[in-house]
Amino acid sequence: MHPSALFFTAIAIASAPAAAQAPAVVEITKFAYAPREITVAPGTTVRWTNHDETPHTVTDKVGELASPGLDTGDLYEHAFANEGDYPYTCAVHPFMTGVVHVRRP
């Protein structure tokens, strides 16, 4: 291969867009968040999906997490920009609790 071809191949690879990161997944099933605690890197999107036949929410005390009522099959996503611990609950069923831990790898 000609040296200039290697140079242009390297530029094409370096400028290719990064693959989108798949969201971290939390399932809502049997009146519980699964997993109850999840650890993700800053910038990660977490996706909650309700598999129950009863509506649920993803709600925290500071208003960062504020899903509407999620019916069966509905989902809610939130991207976590900053490190920290984000406890949340279901506004309809306060015994349902979860935590997203955001940490740098």
What's the mean pLDDT in 13-20?
A: 47
pLDDT score of 11:
40
Mode of pairing for the β-strands spanning 97-102 and 84-89: antiparallel
- The answer as to whether 7 is a domain residue is no
Number of domain units in the chain: 1
> In this model, does residue 25 exceed pLDDT 60?
yes
Distance, in Å, from the CA atom of 31 to the CA atom of 45, rounded to the nearest integer, reads 22
Distance, in Å, from the CA atom of 50 to the CA atom of 76, rounded to the nearest integer, reads 9
Predicted confidence (pLDDT) per residue in 28-83, tens digit: 999 999 999 999 999 999 999 999 999 999 999 989 999 999 999 999 999 999 99
Question: What is the token pair recorded at 67?
Answer: 């899903």
pLDDT score of 21:
78
Distance, in Å, from the CA atom of 46 to the CA atom of 21, rounded to the nearest integer, reads 11
Question: What size, in residues, is the chain?
Answer: 105
- The answer as to whether 13 is a domain residue is no
Closest CA to 48 of 34, 62, 37: 34
- The CATH number of residue 73's host domain is 2.60.40.420
- The answer as to whether 3 is a domain residue is no
- Domain holding 78, by residue range, is 19-102
Is pTM beyond 0.85 here? no
What's the mean pLDDT in 94-103?
A: 98
* pLDDT band per the 50, 70, 90 thresholds, residue 1: low
